[in-house]
Amino acid sequence: MTAEKKMTAQAKIREKILASVREYYNSAFAAKNKFIPGDKINYGGRFFDETELINLVDASLDFWLTTGRYCSEFESSFTDFLGVKYCSLTNSGSSANLLAFMALTSAKLGERRIRKGDEVITVAAGFPTTVAPIIQYGAVPVFVDVTLPEYNIDVSMLEKAYSKKTKAVMVAHTLGNPFDLQTVKSFCDEYNLWLIEDNCDALGSKYYINGAWKYTGTIGDIGTSSFYPPHHMTMGEGGAVYTDNPQLHRIVNSFRDWGRDCWCASGHDDTCQNRFSQQFADLPLGYDHKYVYSHFGYNLKVTEMQAAIGCAQLKKLPSFIKRRKENWQFLRGHLSDLDKYFILPEASQNSEPSWFGFLITVRESASFSRNEIVAYLEEHNIQTRMLFAGNLIKHPCFDEMRGNNELYRVVGSLDNTDRIMEQTFWLGVYPGIDEIQLNFMLTAIRDFLKIN
């Protein structure tokens, strides 16, 4: 059999396999049972069709298990969607935050690099992996409070938090609601600070700045995303780091790819045509550039199979964002008369949020607690979630650090942060929730209020 005939035969077999995958999807996943009160309403989860399964199997048939054609396709398409120049896929949103921060510690950045003992302004009311890289490296997180009902960094505290050691601001857009980027960006520009946008909960959110609407994650120096199943789109696991800065992009890729200095794509050699002709540090002249390390890095790459799922999901992302906004608005509109019981969420000024969830804070004057209404909703199979850590510095991970101003600082009070820890929860708005389920959620909330 000639090579051409062999390829044709393989293509036909592949076509049959993928047709069977489509048939399997229709049998296993396509039929959605009608919601019956008492069925579980998840706060988030996978939302997919046969395309994701077909891509997944297609990638597996190549058996190119590390980064390859689907990874390249995703990175290119994702930069087009966001309007940025560079994207680096990684294996999780947590890794994306790690890479974004570690990139700023590179000696290649000269005097702007973050060194051990330097300070990074952030908040305690969020997810721990926004803060973990700062602490693990040996920099000092400086915590400030957040505002209600936006649940984002209180920008009035930025000047008070600043010191001569401050090198960066690293904060998240809380549950899709953009923080005050205009003020934070101006503050960072004034003091020549780095700005990392943790965009893991806000993919598709927009902010109006300098006369134009821009996607969050693209306004600071580096943005990050997560593709864990409950997020706006998924690869199962997965994340991304993106930037317009070519130097930062190169450094991110170095840390992601074992710390190597070489920038050849996986499976490629000698892209620069200088593989055996350069001098690095104390190595012999001409030492193989593929094994020259400019950083102490990691292997945090994504697999082809994950990226294949992501390529299918990315094409649906605009519809996912639209549905999240609609579900959030439906809940906001139908709960508006209950503001004597709850602090209801508000979009930040100059923003168009792509919501990750619907935040509710029980008022101090209410006759019930957050724990009581959460217990009632959970008993009725409505999933709820806390606003992640609530107040991170009160968790066991801070036991050996608590009160040590050399390891972290708190500026002002964290009154709203503590209030969130005590009285805030959120409900899902992901595309898998339909109007019938939303109405069931609303009815459950009102039934609870009648009891109390």
Instruction: Please measure the distance between the N-terminal and C-terminal CA atoms of the chain and give it in whole angstroms.
Output: 78
SS3 (DSSP) at 242: strand
- Centre a 10 Å sphere on the Cβ of residue 310 and count the other Cβ atoms it contains: 29
Q: How far apart are CA 310 and CA 93, in angstroms?
A: 14
Q: Are strands 166-172 and 212-215 parallel, antiparallel or unpaired?
A: unpaired
Q: How far apart are CA 65 and CA 69, in angstroms?
A: 11
**Amino acid (1-letter code) at residue 296:** F
Of the candidates 231, 249, 289, 380, the residue annotated as catalytic is: 231
Specify the DSSP element, H or E, that contains 144. Answer: strand 140-144
Contact between 392 and 432 (Cβ < 8 Å): no
* Token pair 């409505």 in the structure block, residue: 382
Find residue 360's DSSP bridge partners.
425
SS3 per residue for 289-331? HHHCECCCCCECCCCHHHHHHHHHHHHHHHHHHHHHHHHHHHH
Q: How far apart are CA 400 and CA 449, in angstroms?
A: 42
Residue 231: active-site member: yes
- Which residues lie closer than 8 Å to 202 by C-beta, 6 or more apart? 172, 173, 175, 176, 177, 178, 216, 217, 353, 354, 356
Reference 140, options 419, 406, 371; nearest CA is 406
DSSP state of 58: H
Residue positions annotated with a catalytic role = 231
